[in-house]
Structure 1
């Protein structure tokens, strides 16, 4: 039922795109918009992951360049019975992460340098478990296509503002205003409906993947606090992609906060605390700083510290409940 509702919402986004085409160019505009929407969906299916990663300035890493991060993802992927995804670093001080890809066999997870520097290894594991849950549930394709169409709706609305509405329609000015103002708002509401339903499911499944829901609860609290203080310039330039992140990366300045697509963090934390209680883990989540992923403790995000191997004497990241490698 959840998947069916998501498909209906994606259809609503496509219909909205066509409606803007009609307001701008009449029936011809609607037909052109329909063809463009179909082409965009096909393009997004095959290329949306590469497009999003490029927009966010993500850089691929491997076992040699980021051994501890790669090890965390590999252990979690094995626990979730998933193929090993590609691993990326986002060069921003803001702690955050997202996943993308059309299916589990062609997936990627991206963590920001700020996340790896500020969070403990346990909290990083909780965040990445959430992202792997999105991959396992095939949310990444749906959310990326939604972001692509929503971004196109905004661009088409701006096009209508500069070139006027459907001149065959006596309400041309009203049509243009609807296209420019109402359509992006409606697209944002639909994105919110898609993202909110998927985030709660990914939180729950992520807690099961790492078997410590409170790791994710603690990380969400810290990311929420930092996201309002530390800007993410790549996300600000592409606000329609904000729904892909685990926490809304936008500063909320100007009109970009219309793309706030995430559930209330306090509600998410409460659900994770209840999940932990049911699993027998009663330790309350805390924002206490433990140990960051090696290579990120000193130096600013984007300066390249993640390219260095861990300092001598560091042990690889190990967490008992989900580290089941033989």
Structure 2
């Protein structure tokens, strides 16, 4: 059902794109809008991972530079039956993580140094399992495409009103309504897609890690820390906020008016219900492994799991 809903929402986003083009420039404007949508999606398909990682100055690590983190992701990927993604670290105090890439064969997971300092080994395993679930479900591509299209709609409305032909340009009131309502509608659709995929990634991530309670505890810790530790890069680039496991924005600006993430309390409740259905508690069963010497990120400050 989540996949059907996602497909319908993406179809709605595409239809919105074409409708805005038609209202601003008639049939020619609609064709131009659809061509722009195809071009932006093609670009995001091939470059989404590189752009996202570069935006946060993420550094790739391997088994020598970050043995615990790399080994954790490798073992979780094996449990999930998927290829090993590239692993990155972000020098950022706010605890958070995200996944990116166009498919499981060309994917990456990134964790902040703050999350390594904040979470236990089991909790971090839950977070990494959640990110692998996004990759396995192809959510990284879906959410990249929706974010790109949502941004393109805003750009389209601006350029359409500024440079559209006078013959095809709608009246002033219609222009104002389009400029306000079209980006808002795109934001709502993007939010709905992201929220539906977060719940599914939580569920599958709980299965991959072996204990959904670990992810539930991690979400509570991350959400609490995000309120007090700002992520300046995310604040400057709010369009990337949907990638993270918890919304990294402070909520002080308008960019956080419509969150792309479900309520954290609802996510935790769903995970704890899943844990009860699986018959596991916070310490029972699952993935945890003893930490190895060397630290999770190349000898820098160690977290409580190392």
- In the superposition, the TM-score normalised over structure 2's length comes to 0.88
Please, which of 290, 299, 305 is the counterpart of residue 308 of structure 1? 299
- 2:97 paired with 1:122: no
Local SS of the residue matching 1:107: strand
Taking a change above 3 Å as real, the CA distance of residues 70 and 129 of structure 1, as seen in their structure-2 partners, is: same
Superimposed CA distance per residue, residues 32-62 of structure 1 (whole angstroms, 9 cap, x where no aligned partner): 1110101122222222222222223322221
Structure-2 separation of matches of 1:120 and 1:89: 17
Structure-1 separation of matches of 2:25 and 2:68: 54
Unaligned runs of 5+ in 1: 286-290, 297-304, 318-326
* Residue aligning to 2:21: 21
Q: CA deviation at 1:309?
A: 7.0
Query: Does the CA contact (< 8 Å) of 1:101 and 1:107 recur in 2?
Result: yes
* Residue aligning to 2:34: 34
Taking a change above 3 Å as real, the CA distance of residues 176 and 91 of structure 1, as seen in their structure-2 partners, is: farther
Q: How many equivalent pairs are there?
A: 300
Local SS of the residue matching 1:102: strand
Taking a change above 3 Å as real, the CA distance of residues 234 and 142 of structure 1, as seen in their structure-2 partners, is: same
Query: Does the CA contact (< 8 Å) of 1:23 and 1:165 recur in 2?
Result: no
* Residue aligning to 1:181: 180
- In the superposition, the TM-score normalised over structure 1's length comes to 0.83
Query: Does the CA contact (< 8 Å) of 2:206 and 2:271 recur in 1?
Result: yes
Of 53-62 and 29-38, deviating more is: 53-62
Q: CA deviation at 1:16?
A: 1.9
Superimposed CA distance per residue, residues 91-121 of structure 1 (whole angstroms, 9 cap, x where no aligned partner): 3211111111121111111111211121122
Superimposed CA distance per residue, residues 259-318 of structure 1 (whole angstroms, 9 cap, x where no aligned partner): 411111111111111111122223499xxxxx999888xxxxxxxx9443798xx9x97x
Structure-2 separation of matches of 1:198 and 1:251: 22
Taking a change above 3 Å as real, the CA distance of residues 186 and 292 of structure 1, as seen in their structure-2 partners, is: farther
Unaligned runs of 5+ in 2: 285-289
* Residue aligning to 1:324: none
* Residue aligning to 1:242: 241
Query: Does the CA contact (< 8 Å) of 2:24 and 2:169 recur in 1?
Result: no
Structure-2 separation of matches of 1:86 and 1:33: 35
Taking a change above 3 Å as real, the CA distance of residues 20 and 222 of structure 1, as seen in their structure-2 partners, is: same
Query: Does the CA contact (< 8 Å) of 1:82 and 1:104 recur in 2?
Result: yes
Taking a change above 3 Å as real, the CA distance of residues 92 and 116 of structure 1, as seen in their structure-2 partners, is: same
Local SS of the residue matching 2:215: helix
Taking a change above 3 Å as real, the CA distance of residues 310 and 295 of structure 1, as seen in their structure-2 partners, is: farther
Of 63-72 and 77-86, deviating more is: 63-72
RMSD: 2.8
Once the two structures are superposed, the pairs formed by residues 117-196 of structure 1 within 5 Å of their partners are 117-159=117-159, 163=162, 167-168=166-167, 171-196=170-195
Q: CA deviation at 1:256?
A: 0.3
Of 166-175 and 2-11, deviating more is: 166-175
Q: CA deviation at 1:158?
A: 4.1
Once the two structures are superposed, the pairs formed by residues 158-307 of structure 1 within 5 Å of their partners are 158-159=158-159, 163=162, 167-168=166-167, 171-283=170-282, 306-307=297-298
Q: CA deviation at 1:225?
A: 1.3
Structure-2 separation of matches of 1:156 and 1:91: 35
Superimposed CA distance per residue, residues 136-161 of structure 1 (whole angstroms, 9 cap, x where no aligned partner): 11111111111111122233344456
Structure-2 separation of matches of 1:259 and 1:294: 43
Taking a change above 3 Å as real, the CA distance of residues 264 and 46 of structure 1, as seen in their structure-2 partners, is: same
Q: CA deviation at 1:243?
A: 1.6
Structure-2 separation of matches of 1:40 and 1:73: 31
Taking a change above 3 Å as real, the CA distance of residues 174 and 284 of structure 1, as seen in their structure-2 partners, is: farther
Superimposed CA distance per residue, residues 64-96 of structure 1 (whole angstroms, 9 cap, x where no aligned partner): 222211111111111111111001112321111
Structure-1 separation of matches of 2:153 and 2:271: 35
